[in-house]
Amino acid sequence: MKRFAGSLVVAGVLGVVAALVLWALPADEFVFEPGAAKPLAERVEVEDAKPARGSVYYVDVFVRRTTRLEELLPFLLPEGSTVVPERDLLPPGTTEEDRDRQTAADMQRSERVASAVALRAAGLDVEATPKGALVVSVAQDVPAAGKIEPGDVVVAVDGAPVRMPEELRQAVGSRRPGNTVELTVLREGKNVAVEVETVASPVDPDRAIIGIRVDQEADIELPLDVEIDLGKVGGPSAGLAFGLEILRMLGRDVTKGCRIAATGELALDGSVLPVGGLKQKTIGARRTGVDVLLVPAGENALEARRYADGLDIVPVESFQQALQRLATSERTC
């Protein structure tokens, strides 16, 4: 009897050890987990600040590899999680370190662009010299995948200079789907010639595209000093929140005393661009107890509303529209 009991103890210990090993071993997929909405008041500094009432929050997503144990027992994943294939986060030939560097660069650009957009909205002069079309993302199912990289700046098409995203769209759109174009991209300080085949637009089969999303690359000079520090948080999706907080720091009553959370990438023209992780961001904002969550209009807003559970979701297409929606809201806090 004692020998049998001892065997059970040994088996139990081995089971625990095996579970711990499986928990520690990373798997081949990634998991998106909800993060908490966090106030920007201690993260954003603006010269001559006179903060207005209320709070602006940013929302992020915790991203990590799944474990072998979670792969075997998916119910162990945290509530609100989404498992994402490795190829969706790490295109062929890239590493996690490459991704970290890119998201850090995206954050720096987001901070600069948000500052420019917010200070312009405050009526200040902001100098922005167009320098090309910055590649934000590349579709995985197009010939450009693996040739064009996020962070590249397209400065010419078939030798013709490109200073703004619209010039790139016009140049590519003048071709036929299946034609090849030569792009000159600025990569790590050097001009690189890349030939890519165009594909048909899913919206208009007669229009050629190359399957990349671009933003304005520009030299920006700000009239006021703005410092933003989110630590190790990367990516461009806090741009809308940054812009709102900068205006709040300058005395604009953008929140009406409420706790306003926001997610969305800001383009230099003030457009609010779609971002990822809306399920996790909405759950995180809801759990934090904010009053409102501003999100990009379209699919992002639809996703957010699926997980809102009573949280007020406000879809916006531009920074000016965000300000208008907040200004005309009947909510009081």
Where do runs of H (alpha helix) occur along 25-144? 68-72, 86-89, 96-121
Burial status of residue 95 (CB atoms within 10 A of its CB: 0-12, 13-18, 19 or more): exposed
Q: Which of 256, 279, 281, 318 is catalytic?
A: 281
Residue 98, classed as helix, strand or coil, is helix
Burial status of residue 11 (CB atoms within 10 A of its CB: 0-12, 13-18, 19 or more): exposed
What is the rounded distance in angstroms from the CA atom of residue 74 to the CA atom of residue 69? Answer: 8
Element (H, E) at 7: helix 2-24
Position of tokens 């010269």?
Answer: 47
Element (H, E) at 132: strand 127-138
Is residue 237 part of the annotated active site? The answer reads: yes
Element (H, E) at 56: strand 55-67
Residue 204, classed as helix, strand or coil, is coil
Q: Which of 237, 256, 271, 279 is catalytic?
A: 237
Is residue 232 part of the annotated active site? The answer reads: no
Residue 151, classed as helix, strand or coil, is coil
Which amino acid belongs to residue 220?
A: I
Please list the active-site residues.
Answer: 237, 281
